[in-house]
Amino acid sequence: MTRNKGRTVAVIDREIQRLQKERSDALSAEIGGVVSRIKVAIAHYGLTAADLGLDVGPAVKSRQKGRATRAGAKASPRKSRPSPPKFTDGKGHTWTGVGKRPRWFLDALASGATEESLRVAPTT
């Protein structure tokens, strides 16, 4: 067992906190320098994430939606698939069940219909 040479746990804890903050500040400064050098090189050589072998995942792709590509062409818009109708009144009105309830749906409920009676039969 070693002696702590008169230093209390509180003194040691304060020193640890001071050193951790000093380490954090030094690391932030180093990272800032590295990032700035990398940005300069990327701009100089016109590199992309793909050139660097970085995975361009869904989060990055969604941020790039609509942005110009490297060659200057516009990114193609995503095609959405329409949702199948979940409710119908039998008169040609349908509703997917998403968003604000349409007037025909509210009128049908007011005249005594139930949501279940307006529901489209599930397809198998």
The per-residue pLDDT for range 54-98, each reduced to its tens digit, is: 876 666 555 555 555 555 556 667 777 888 889 998 888 999 988
pTM passes above 0.85: no
Q: How far apart are CA 48 and CA 37, in angstroms?
A: 15
Q: How far apart are CA 74 and CA 116, in angstroms?
A: 45
Average pLDDT on 33-39 reads: 90
Task: Provide the pLDDT for residue 80.
Answer: 79
| Helices marked H in the chain | 9-45, 58-64, 103-110, 115-118
Task: Provide the pLDDT for residue 73.
Answer: 59
Per-chain mean pLDDT for the chain: 83
